[in-house]
Homo-oligomer: A and B are copies of this chain.
Amino acid sequence: MRTLRLTIAYDGTRYAGWQVQRSDGRKPTIQGTVERCLKRILRERVRVVGSGRTDAGVHALAQVAHVKTRSRLPVDRVRRSLNALVPKDIAIMDVREADRTFHARFDAVRKRYRYRLFTGSVVPPFLRRYVHHVRHPLNIAAMRREAAALRGAHDFRAFTRAASVRGRTIRRITGVRVQRGGDELVIELEGEGFLHTMVRSIVGTLIDVGRGRLPAGTVGRALRSKTQGLAGMTAPAKGLALVSVAYGRSPNR
């Protein structure tokens, strides 16, 4: 039995998210699509285990997943055959042999997410699937001060959706950056792990503070409250991308 490690990029626009749905919706999932194609190549049913879910509409530059297989197909052949089969909005960037015990979810030690806001008056057609258009003027200095409160370990219960709260809601944020570049404002978050919709809820709150709809200090108060509903709005999925997943001591990018 081999364990293969896959690095997968996808445009999440058309998908119901990473994970195969119990209720089987109308939209395909990334995981289901890759599993279906791998079955044809490896000639056996496999489970593609991702580093974590991404929600419907969320993109990935380098999602990491593992697959256990009996097939002896060389990794380059797996990558090429898979890229010939998957739809064009999914690309298998890399396939390599992994340690037999490698687990894409349990072994992940750090993840980086990037959220892109577009602040110009008209979104260029090339960006429309990948940015959230904010028409209000944003106070970036205020957003940066707010974002700084996220660093470190906190109870992020205020920043996740009701249905998803189970187990511990403490997470550690190791990096936060709010970066302007032309008409784009990019918010990057790095951490050991994130709760469901946590990044989008953080970004939505930062936007609300940036446009003056919520007062300075909202992030700190929401964290201390440990209460759902006290954060700002949840920013739309299309602006979000999983940028990288790090394993062990060396990041994978």
Contact = CB atoms under 8 A, between A and B. Distances in A.
Q: How many monomers of this protein are in the complex? A: 2
A197 B88 CA distance: 27
B88 A10 contact: no
B61 A124 contact: yes
Interface stretch (A35-43, A89-97, A106-114, A141-149): A89-97
A128 B88 CA distance: 8
A122 B122 CA distance: 31
Contact of A93 (B10, B94, B124): B124
A9 B124 contact: yes
A79 B120 CA distance: 14
A125 interface: yes
A123 interface: yes
A130 B126 CA distance: 9
A125 B83 contact: no
Interface in A118-155: 122-126, 128, 130
